[in-house]
Structure 1
Amino acid sequence: MLIGIPKEIKNNEYRIGMTPAGVRELVSHGHHVMVQRDGGTAIGLLNDHYEAAGASLVDTPEEIFATAEMIIKVKEPQPEECKMLRPGQLLFTYLHLAPDPEQTRLLLESDCVAIAYETVTDAQGGLPLLAPMSEVAGRMSVQAGAHALEKAQGGMGILLGGVPGVAPAKVTVIGGGVVGINAARMAMGLGADVTILDRSLPRLKALDEQYGPQLKTLYSSVESIEHEVTQSDLVIGAVLIPGAAAPKLVTREMLKKMKNGSVLVDVAIDQGGCFETSRATTHQDPTYEVEGIIHYCVANMPGGVARTSTFALTNATLPFALALANKGYQQALIDDPHLRNGLNVHRGKVTYQAVATALGYDCLAPEQAVG
């Protein structure tokens, strides 16, 4: 199979869909890989590294989209990339379609086959291609929140861990999944007073057993969210419903009861955000203020640590990329129901129910699409 790795073009996005090691693996299985020149240079993955691994370097994305059978990316295709996709061409990347009607429309119009990293599952019910970026984003959320709390950044001027004689910051994490756990770990490591909310009692029990009294756990309800948010210095939104738009759990009215200069970090922004007042921002201009509260809503947060993120992501995606290349996408999806769960768009049809529900499309069952 001819596989193309274009350079990412989203604002301040320096990750790349495959490392030289991944290229070497695919080439060793008899596949051909094209990599856009300088696609990984910003994170130390040089053109020479890709050539030594067996890749062909090309100068423009147009060359890749015009000829590759499978496109492997990191972020969702931008409108100009969607318009280069060809009928039947396979796209393997993050999509986050539920809150993005324009991208969905363009993918449907392209007649391509699009598999989303974020809805591929595993035997334990997890999301193995989302997990590594969730780990990064969870850890970064505390780093970003701590910075935003500094007075020069618009925050109230609080050190997350405090100092002897001065209380630490109060941090509330909404959601006890991969993002939430990693955020809580980082915040506890910095000495903050941390509470995590979730609707799963087994998850709260597991967290209590793992961390003991260092981490407070609360069942998530409208009342408990409002109480904790209004008392907090830093709130991290870490809620995920796979493939679906994130629920709006923190309202503008709650913001009015918070302390001026408090900070909200919305890690769910890729799926539309879990704060009513959230709107996507970039690493170039990461924060804005609503009701005196600083919002950090960067939609590609792991892109800020692009080298770490690239290696973490491609370690997870490579086995699936190999299966798609070795078998062809139809056989690979037939053989692996967990990879099949990643199929979001197939030849002009939406094939993921949560996306169809969010955007008002009919849903074609993925089994029918590839059967």
Structure 2
Amino acid sequence: MKIGIPKEIKNNENRVGMTPAGVFELTKRNHIVYIQTSAGFGSGFFDEDYQEAGAIILNSIEEVYASSDMIVKVKEPIQEEYQLIKPNQIVFTYFHFASSEILTKAMIKSDAICIAYETVEEADGSLPLLIPMSEVAGRMSIQQGAKYLEKPIKGRGVLLGGVPGVPPGKVLVLGAGIVGIQAAKMAAGLGAHVTIMDINMKQLRYVNDVMPNHVVTEFSSEYNIRKRIEESDLIIGGVLIKGAKAPKLITKDMLKNMRPGTVIVDVAVDQGGCFETTKATTHEDPTYIIDDVVHYCVANMPGAVPYTSTVALTNVTLPYVIKLANDGWEKACENNVPLSKGLNIVKGKVVYKEITEAFNWETEVT
């Protein structure tokens, strides 16, 4: 199969769809890999590295799309790429369709095979291709939140770990999944007092067992959230509903109950965000302020640490890319149930019901 790896063109996205090591695994199986020149520069991989692994370097994104049977990316195609996608072409990437009706309609129109990393699902309900980026984003949420708590950038002026004689900062984490646990781990490591909320008691028991004593669990309800936000310095939104829009756990009216300079980080922004006041931002302009509350809502947080993120992503996507390349999408999905759940749009038809539900479409999904 001919596999194309274009350069990511979303704002400040420095990741690339595959490492040279991943390319080598494909070329040794006699697949042809095209990569756009300088696609890996932001992640610390150079054209020579890819050539040594057997890739063919192409000069433009147009050439990569035109030459390839399958496109392997990191982020969803943006408007400039819509017209480049061919009918029957496999596009394997993070799509997050539920957060963008425009993207969804464009991919329906393209007649491509859209396989979303974020909905590939194992039998136990885990999302193997989302986990590494959730791990990165969860850890980064504390790193970024701690920075934006500084007074020069309009935060409360709180050091999360405190110092002798001064209590540590208080962190509220909404969601005890991968993002939430990683965020809690990082915040606890800094010495902050952490409260993690979820409606899943099994997850809360797990967190209670593995985290230190200054990480406490609490059942998530509107009443409890309203109470906790009044005293929190940093709030992390890490709630995920697979393939669907995130629930709005913090509404605009709640902001007035937070102290000025409180920082909220919405890691669920790719799925529409779990704060009512969320709007996607970029690494170039990452924050905005509403009612004296600092919002950090960067839609591609792991793009700020592209080397770590690209290696972590290739580690988990490569086995699926090899299956698709060896067998074609139909046979690969027939033989691999987790991969089949990644199918979102096939030749102009939505095949993942959460997408139609997100937009209240009445289209029947098969």
> TM bucket by the smaller chain?
over 0.9
Partner of 1:144: 144
Query: Are 1:227 and 2:227 matched, yes or no?
Result: yes
Query: Are 1:160 and 2:163 matched, yes or no?
Result: no
Q: Deviations over 1:321-351 (max 9, x none)?
A: 0000000000001111110110010011111
Preserved CA contact (<8 Å) 2:72 2:91? yes
Determine the C-alpha separation between the residues in 2 that align with 1:317 and 1:138: 20
Query: Are 1:275 and 2:275 matched, yes or no?
Result: yes
Preserved CA contact (<8 Å) 2:18 2:72? yes
Partner of 2:102: 102
Per the normalisation by structure 2, the TM-score is 0.99
Once the two structures are TM-superposed, the CA of residue 363 in structure 1 deviates from its matched residue by 4.1
Please give the secondary structure, in 2, of the residue aligned with 1:213: coil
Determine the C-alpha separation between the residues in 1 that align with 2:59 and 2:364: 38
Partner of 2:181: 181
Determine the C-alpha separation between the residues in 1 that align with 2:230 and 2:337: 43
Please give the secondary structure, in 1, of the residue aligned with 2:280: coil
Determine the C-alpha separation between the residues in 2 that align with 1:175 and 1:312: 22
Preserved CA contact (<8 Å) 2:16 2:43? no
After the TM superposition, which residues 259-298 of structure 1 pair with which residues of structure 2 at under 5 Å, given as runs?
Answer: 259-298=259-298
Preserved CA contact (<8 Å) 2:174 2:238? yes
Partner of 2:196: 196
Please give the secondary structure, in 2, of the residue aligned with 1:324: helix
The runs of 5 or more residues in structure 2 that have no matched partner are none
Query: Are 1:40 and 2:40 matched, yes or no?
Result: yes
After the TM superposition, which residues 249-260 of structure 1 pair with which residues of structure 2 at under 5 Å, given as runs?
Answer: 249-260=249-260
Once the two structures are TM-superposed, the CA of residue 68 in structure 1 deviates from its matched residue by 0.3
Once the two structures are TM-superposed, the CA of residue 98 in structure 1 deviates from its matched residue by 0.3
Preserved CA contact (<8 Å) 1:230 1:255? no
Once the two structures are TM-superposed, the CA of residue 214 in structure 1 deviates from its matched residue by 2.4
The size of the alignment, in residue pairs, is: 365
Corresponding letter in the other structure for 1:141: S
After the TM superposition, which residues 114-153 of structure 1 pair with which residues of structure 2 at under 5 Å, given as runs?
Answer: 114-153=114-153
Once the two structures are TM-superposed, the CA of residue 43 in structure 1 deviates from its matched residue by 2.2
Please give the secondary structure, in 2, of the residue aligned with 1:217: strand
Preserved CA contact (<8 Å) 1:230 1:254? no
Determine the C-alpha separation between the residues in 1 that align with 2:25 and 2:19: 10
Q: Deviations over 1:17-37 (max 9, x none)?
A: 011001100011110000000
Partner of 1:369: none
Please give the secondary structure, in 1, of the residue aligned with 2:230: helix
Once the two structures are TM-superposed, the CA of residue 267 in structure 1 deviates from its matched residue by 0.2
Preserved CA contact (<8 Å) 2:120 2:339? yes
Please give the secondary structure, in 1, of the residue aligned with 2:305: helix
Q: Deviations over 1:166-221 (max 9, x none)?
A: 11110000000000000000000000010000000111111111125221000000
Please give the secondary structure, in 2, of the residue aligned with 1:185: helix
Please give the secondary structure, in 2, of the residue aligned with 1:235: strand
Once the two structures are TM-superposed, the CA of residue 360 in structure 1 deviates from its matched residue by 3.0
Corresponding letter in the other structure for 2:58: V
Once the two structures are TM-superposed, the CA of residue 259 in structure 1 deviates from its matched residue by 0.2
Partner of 2:88: 88
Determine the C-alpha separation between the residues in 2 that align with 1:54 and 1:359: 43
Preserved CA contact (<8 Å) 1:85 1:112? yes
Query: Are 1:333 and 2:333 matched, yes or no?
Result: yes
Corresponding letter in the other structure for 2:271: Q
| Moved segments of 4+, more than 2 Å | none
After the TM superposition, which residues 232-243 of structure 1 pair with which residues of structure 2 at under 5 Å, given as runs?
Answer: 232-243=232-243
Q: Percent identity?
A: 53
Determine the C-alpha separation between the residues in 1 that align with 2:351 and 2:339: 13
Corresponding letter in the other structure for 2:103: Q
Determine the C-alpha separation between the residues in 2 that align with 1:149 and 1:252: 20
Please give the secondary structure, in 2, of the residue aligned with 1:13: coil
Partner of 2:312: 312
The runs of 5 or more residues in structure 1 that have no matched partner are 366-371
Determine the C-alpha separation between the residues in 2 that align with 1:230 and 1:95: 35
Corresponding letter in the other structure for 1:292: D
Partner of 2:365: 364
Q: Which moved more, 1:211-220 or 1:248-257?
A: 211-220
Per the normalisation by structure 1, the TM-score is 0.97
Preserved CA contact (<8 Å) 2:5 2:34? yes
Partner of 2:74: 74
Preserved CA contact (<8 Å) 1:5 1:34? yes
Query: Are 1:29 and 2:29 matched, yes or no?
Result: yes
Query: Are 1:58 and 2:58 matched, yes or no?
Result: yes
Partner of 1:368: none
Preserved CA contact (<8 Å) 2:188 2:212? no
Determine the C-alpha separation between the residues in 1 that align with 2:118 and 2:219: 26
Q: Which moved more, 1:76-85 or 1:204-213?
A: 204-213
Once the two structures are TM-superposed, the CA of residue 53 in structure 1 deviates from its matched residue by 0.3
Q: Deviations over 1:227-285 (max 9, x none)?
A: 11121000000000010000000011111010000000000000000001000000000
Please give the secondary structure, in 2, of the residue aligned with 1:269: helix
Superposed CA RMSD: 0.8
Corresponding letter in the other structure for 1:194: V
